[in-house]
Chains A and B, each alone.
Chain A
């Protein structure tokens, strides 16, 4: 492995880290919001673009950088996805900060840190890099969640997340330790118990139990979902957007890698446990959202369900890892768009408010009071419900296809039930948004145009991919195949 290619392949990480340092120093020298924002956005764009170089260097197959990282096309796809999401967050964030917060600049540092962490994960093939990435994301998120000063909810959310995710991380770590004890290696590739000793098997299983519990917490799967609504609710909705998309997506990327490389699902017990977790997550998540009147909490619960859906793709890796990867990537693309759009709408609407407008009534008649935001909210709700003309439909279609391909009929049943319940509350959002606005409801003016513009862009993407997803699907398929799955 020539050092040059290694540098080229690792270029995105270097760029991002470099940008991070620059911003940090910049902030240290002189606090200027505009500069920080521009630098951050530039960094993110640069990192995204650097993938072009990286791709060309990568060619087919994968490049192993130290035992810790293995970079391949799929990882890059995830990276780009996360970076774009971070970009959107940065844009919204700049608006949000400039209007709502006194000390703005550190936010960008945290954001870049978190992004870096999330970029680490898709390429991680080693427990060390895994915990590294997870914790980088996690710790920067604690701060981001509790970022606004003086307000109580963000702080409460931050603390809750800190304590609980601390517990989660310890479970994760403990699990790793046990697995290591069982298998004798912390690389995913050979993390199966090497010597046939009984205790080895036991260590391995116990380890997996802890490990997956930790992961389930990060992905907010039942029964580790319970923190989700409070944190989503308390955090500034733009941070919530980041938390809901990037952090989850990154964790998913890494456990996917682990499941494939480490053949975890060979052990029927783990598969069984995961299937159960998936089923209950789909059903309970949706049930919890059913009559929820707070938009952010509602989306939190629905995210529980969506993560449950995604487990179907994870469970497929045994039989058909390529399809599994396609599914998870396309689904994440869709899910990122919808979720960012939804939280984006909330944050854009709340720009000029003291409290965030997160109750469902606050969007009543939105389509008529603020057409763009309203339309985008409706589109994303429809997309989350998985109804055609939006990418959400293709995401759901992929799930069905994957489920049938894996013959997981129970999961499909749960998926049907879940989506059935889901339609109800997503549609409630739509109905509220198209209501005839009450007379005292004033038309919303003075909203930032950048924000609305990004919203419109997200909405258009959802529609475009919902009508002609062919190119996206082909791209994903090619990359996945090129990466040798």
Chain B
């Protein structure tokens, strides 16, 4: 008897308790409930995972009540777990728990402590439902649920209007993606006659009509949904602004778990995508473009969290790219490792920010490495994994992706080159971030650190997650992606690593990046001012900094027009109403005209009567 159902149930319970107590509980209790529920869930996941590996069945199912049955439409609350979802579950609960733990320290000074964990638990619950649901509607429930929590948490400090706008932006933009997804659901139901994921996949494998244009459409719609959630081009614009949320939120939702939901979705619906080259190509292209754009953007950001946000975008781009070129397992593997090191990076940056009184501008930092050793080390490890230095987890996954791209993708050269350039850029901006933050001379004098916030009492709270995540970021890759490869059986493409120029090149790129980065940003050999003075680079940096002007584009194309139509007083109260007002006007007009006849003069009255007499006379006699 496996306790599958209990995994989501625990965070849900936590959420309910915190919600109903309306923050009347003492903080210690809140933190133990908030973090504890997730922790238990994590333990339970471990237990279930052990059961799973030991049992020979390839899926665990836990049914509960029927959701709805209408005619042939039939969905129920049914949890369905295979290796793929299990990986996701482990990442969510594991990383989730560490971040919760960290958050107990990070948020300890903020008001709304209980509300925070309330939302966080709800998020974990929704995310679990997303990956464990056995039908697409349940998945959609989780999908929307995480969107909601992300909205709530981005706008957590609801007193700051900007944060509110950021939250709304995140929700609405992802909602656009969700609309694609839900239409995809309709289409799948129309085709398959059911929303059961497994039935759908079987249908796709066996009885999908050929040529599968419908299938391609389905895949593209799914991709639309994924793009929205995972902040890929063209719906990526919300993610940088989402950094308004507290750092643990950025770590959990906008780095480790939610944003990777899109990857999971595509991986989950693999059999549909396998059928359509076009769709696969689109996936790869989306990934690649995002990767490219995001890397450049990250290169010129000044806000440390925005750097990390763009880097997240680009890393997820890698995952999409991997899926697109058929490196399913590699993509999933990267998802996992990325969850580890990106979470680590965020948490570390979080401590830095906290130590700097919520200063996020890197140019105002510098030389922090001896003041904040632990975050520094954590950051270092994370960056190493991010730039994929050998033997870090990031290395294994990214390397696998690049190799597969080379071996297996349609436009191998192009794809591979772009991917490699991006890898190079990754190292560049990572080095830049590290240098600006931790090395060089202190840039601004506001450096009396709130020690207590960092060392005492939250020390142990902060350090342990750092430690564990750091270990994972290094060792997370050693199990090799064979671990994930059996998720897809033979469908995935494997690229064994053996020495040839390409492999060496891929190996070398990160180092090159680091070295160049060092010369560019750290050493004085290159005069940075000269580069920046140059008008071209100035222009470029502006362009990149704005995230390639997507925000501006959408603003002018969509937001401003909509606002204009909506906000202008012209239609505050409803053009349609004018029609009825017109009727009213006409009626009263006729009333006034007719009333003019009522003069009160008898002789005039008599006259009208005689006139009427004539009229009737005509009507009767001559008609």
Chain A residues at the B interface, C-beta cutoff of 8 Å: 159-160, 163-164, 167-168, 171, 202, 205-206, 208-210, 212-213, 216-217, 222-224, 226-227, 229-230, 269-270, 272-273, 276-277, 284, 287-288, 290-291, 421
Residue of B at shortest CB range from A424? Answer: B587
Q: Please give me the residue from chain A that is nearest to B598 by CB atom.
A: A229
In the bound complex, do residue A270 and residue B608 qualify as a contact, i.e. CB atoms below 8 Å apart?
Answer: no
Contact A284 B598 (CB under 8 A): no
User: Would you call B620 and A287 a contact (CB within 8 A)?
Assistant: no
Using CB atoms, name the residue of chain A closest to B600: A230
Tell me, rounded to whole Å, the shortest Cβ–Cβ distance linking A256 to chain B.
Answer: 19
* Interface membership of B594, Cβ < 8 A: yes
For the complex formed, measure the closest distance between the CB of A210 and the CB atoms of chain B, giving whole angstroms: 7
10 closest cross-chain pairs (CB), A and B: A223-B612, A273-B619, A209-B620, A290-B591, A209-B617, A269-B620, A213-B613, A213-B616, A226-B605, A273-B620
B611 touches A223 (CB 8 A): yes
B621: nearest chain-A partner, CB-CB = A205
Q: Is the CB of A290 within 8 A of B587?
A: yes
Instruction: Give the complex CA separation of A212 and B590 in angstroms.
Output: 27
Kindly supply a per-residue 1/0 record for chain B positions 587-623, scoring 1 wherever the CB is within 8 Å of any chain A CB and 0 otherwise.
Answer: 1101110110110101001101111110111011101
Q: A164-B606, A230-B605 are in contact. List 17 more A-B contacts (CB 8 A).
A: A202-B621, A209-B613, A209-B616, A213-B613, A213-B617, A217-B609, A223-B608, A224-B609, A224-B612, A226-B605, A230-B600, A269-B623, A273-B616, A287-B587, A288-B595, A288-B598, A421-B587
Closest to B603 in A: A163
How many A-B pairs have beta carbons closer than 8 Å: the answer is 86
Which residue of chain B lies nearest to A202 when distances are taken between CB atoms in the complex? B621
Interface contact B605-A287, CB-CB below 8 Å: no
Q: How long is the Cα–Cα vector from A217 to B609 in the complex, in angstroms?
A: 8
11 chain-A/chain-B pairs, Cβ below 8 angstroms: A163-B602, A167-B606, A212-B620, A213-B616, A226-B605, A226-B608, A270-B620, A287-B594, A288-B591, A288-B594, A288-B595
Chain B: interface secondary structure? helix
Residues in B with CB closer than 8 Å to A226 are 597-598, 605, 608-609
CB-CB < 8 A to A287: which residues of B?
Answer: 587, 590-591, 594
Contact of B609 among A167, A202, A269, A421 (CB under 8 A): A167
Most buried by A among B592, B598, B613, B621: B613
Asked whether B620 lies within 8 Å of A208 as measured between CB atoms, the reply is yes
Q: Closest B residue to A217 by CB, please name it.
A: B609
Write out the residue numbers on chain B whose beta carbons fall within 8 Å of the beta carbon of A222. Answer: 612
Q: In the assembly, what is the distance between CA of A210 and CA of B609, in Å?
A: 11
Select from chain A the residue with minimum beta-carbon distance to B589: A287
A212-B616, A213-B616 given; A269·B602 CB < 8 A:
no
State the CA gap A222–B613 with chains docked (Å).
11
Which of the listed residues B597, B609, B617, B623 has the most CB atoms from chain A within 10 Å of its own CB?
Answer: B609
B595, B611, B616, B621: residue with the most chain A Cβ atoms closer than 10 Å = B616
CA A141 to CA B615, docked complex, whole Å? 28
Q: Is the CB of B616 within 8 A of A164?
A: no
Tell me the smallest distance from the CB of B321 to a CB of chain A, in Å.
66
Q: Are A227 and B605 in contact (CB under 8 A)?
A: yes
CA distance A105 to B10 in the complex (A): 95
A111 to B559, alpha carbons, bound, how many Å?
A: 77
Measured in the bound complex, the distance between the Cα atoms of B584 and A290 in whole Å is 10
Q: Looking at the assembled complex, report how far the CB atom of B447 sits from the nearest CB atom of chain A, in whole angstroms.
A: 69
Q: How far is the CB of B323 from chain A (nearest CB, A)?
A: 64
What CA separation (Å) do A315 and B117 show in the bound complex? 79
Q: Is the CB of A272 within 8 A of B623?
A: yes
With most chain B CB atoms within 10 A of its CB, the pick from A226, A230, A276, A421 is: A226
Chain A residues positioned under 8 Å from B591 (CB to CB)? 287-288, 290-291
Interfacial chain A residues near B623, Cβ < 8 Å: 269, 272
Of A163, A213, A269, which contacts B621 at CB under 8 A? A269
Task: Tell me the residues in window 563-590 of chain B with beta carbons closer than 8 Å to chain A beta carbons.
Answer: 587-588, 590
Alpha-carbon distance between A164 and B603 when the two chains are bound, in angstroms: 9
Contact pattern, B 320-363, Cβ under 8 Å of A = 1, otherwise 0? 00000000000000000000000000000000000000000000
**Set A168, A206, A284: member contacting B594, Cβ < 8 A:** A284
Which residue, A202, A222, A269, A290, has most C-beta atoms of chain B within 10 A? Answer: A290
- Bound-state Cα–Cα, A184 to B620, Å: 20
CB distance from A195 to the nearest CB of B (A): 19
Collect the chain A residues with CB atoms within 8 Å of residue B598's CB: 226, 229-230, 288
Q: Quick check: B594 and A216 within 8 Å, CB to CB?
A: no
Q: Which residues of B contact A213 (CB under 8 A)?
A: 609, 612-613, 616-617
* A229→B620 CA distance, assembly (Å): 27
Residues of B within 8 A of A223 (CB): 608-609, 611-612, 615
Residues of B within 8 A of A171 (CB): 613
Contact of B588 among A209, A217, A291 (CB under 8 A): A291
- Give B261-277 as 1s and 0s: 1 = Cβ < 8 Å from A's Cβ atoms: 00000000000000000
Q: Which residues of B contact A217 (CB under 8 A)?
A: 609
CA–CA, A230 to B599, complex, Å?
A: 10
